[in-house]
Amino acid sequence: MTTENLDVVLPDDRVKAGTVKHMFGRIAGRYDLMNRLMTFGRDRAWHREVVRRAALPVGGRLLDIGSGTGGIVWAALEQDFGLSAVAADFTFEMMAAGRAQHGCRAIQWCGADALALPFGGNTFDAVTSGYLIRNVVDIRQAFTEQMRVVRPGGKVVCLDTSPPPPGLLQPFINIYLQTIIPLAGRLISGDRYAYRYLPESTRHFHTPAELEVIMQAVGLQKTSYRRLMHRTVVILQGTKPGATPP
Ligand SMILES: C[S@@+](CC[C@H](N)C(=O)[O-])C[C@H]1O[C@@H](n2cnc3c(N)ncnc32)[C@H](O)[C@@H]1O
């Protein structure tokens, strides 16, 4: 598909990775501003909540995959500057925008595909992701990789959007997602496609309960989730079985 073919907003799995990478490459410079506006300024609080749920030890090792401009890693470093923090993504433009903001002394930026992580097993105390899982071709493989690289007892924490649930607010949420976000996105980022892809991919995405089942299927235990923003955003977490070091 091409980005001009706006009637077919969701890419086929065969071209999804390339489409997603190019899309984030185009909007990287305006990504954080759009996120702040779309979430009414809540994006940073949600990143902090992801970090809190990751339960990192002091001076621990964090991998944030699909890190984009590094918002989650930066929220973690604000709490503990002794962390060893890796921000990994397959879109270099997003990481470049993040480096311009946060620098590279505290954050190790790393080009990586979430479906084949270039790290050994049991390497990190926690693995986090923000709005990654909706964008990958194989969700189960992405969680399998996160489960592999986190240490036994470590947490996998995932922030993403959720399909708007039925209810009184649904018509308003739909207007917001399908009209206001695409219009604002077009005006601010100048990209006709990206902010139509966001609501469409959210509408067709798994429910939190379905994602939790996938997390359990790869072996994560003690899974749970919390819904936010009128249940259109979710934070899921799970723990890799095994010993928790002292
Ligand atoms: C919506 S942005 C999220 C950025 C950041 N995590 C946040 O919370 O704002 C999604 C990011 O996931 C990255 N991404 C999507 N699929 C990926 C994959 N298979 N491997 C690595 N990164 C991926 C994109 O390049 C993009 O930077």
Domains, the chain? 13-162+206-239 (3.40.50.150)
Query: Do 95 and 28 meet the contact criterion of CB atoms below 8 Å apart?
Result: no
Task: State the number of CA atoms in the 13 A half-sphere of 119 facing the CB.
Answer: 29
Q: Give the predicted TM-score (pTM) of the model.
A: 0.93
Q: How far apart are CA 150 and CA 240, in angstroms?
A: 7
Residues 6 or more apart whose Cβ sits within 8 Å of residue 113: 17, 90
- The reported pLDDT for the residue numbered 167 is 84
- Rounded CA-CA distance 246/235 in Å is 26
Sequence-ordered list of residues with C-beta below 8 angstroms from that of 120, at least 6 positions apart, any chain: 149
> Which residue in the block uniquely carries the two structure tokens 């890693």?
73
- Report the run of H or E that residue 126 belongs to, with start and end: strand 124-130
The arithmetic mean of pLDDT across residues 133-145, rounded, is 97
Interval between CA 185 and ligand 1 midpoint (Å)? 18
Give, for ligand 1, the residue of 16, 49, 90 to mutate: max count of ligand atoms closer than 8 Å to Cβ. 90
Say if residue 244's pLDDT is above 80. Answer: no
Per-residue pLDDT tens over the stretch 78-88? 998 899 999 99
What lines the ligand 1 site, CB under 6 Å? 17, 20-21, 24, 35, 66-68, 71-72, 89-91, 94, 113-115, 130-132, 135-136
Pairing of strands 84-89, 61-65: parallel
Residue-wise pLDDT for 150-185, tens only, equals 999 999 999 999 998 888 888 888 898 888 999 998
Atom of ligand 1 nearest to the CA of 21: 25
CB 142 within 8 A of CB 133: yes
Which of 38, 53, 62, 89 gets mutated to test ligand 1 (max ligand atoms within 8 A of its CB)?
89
Judged by DSSP in three states, 245 sits in coil
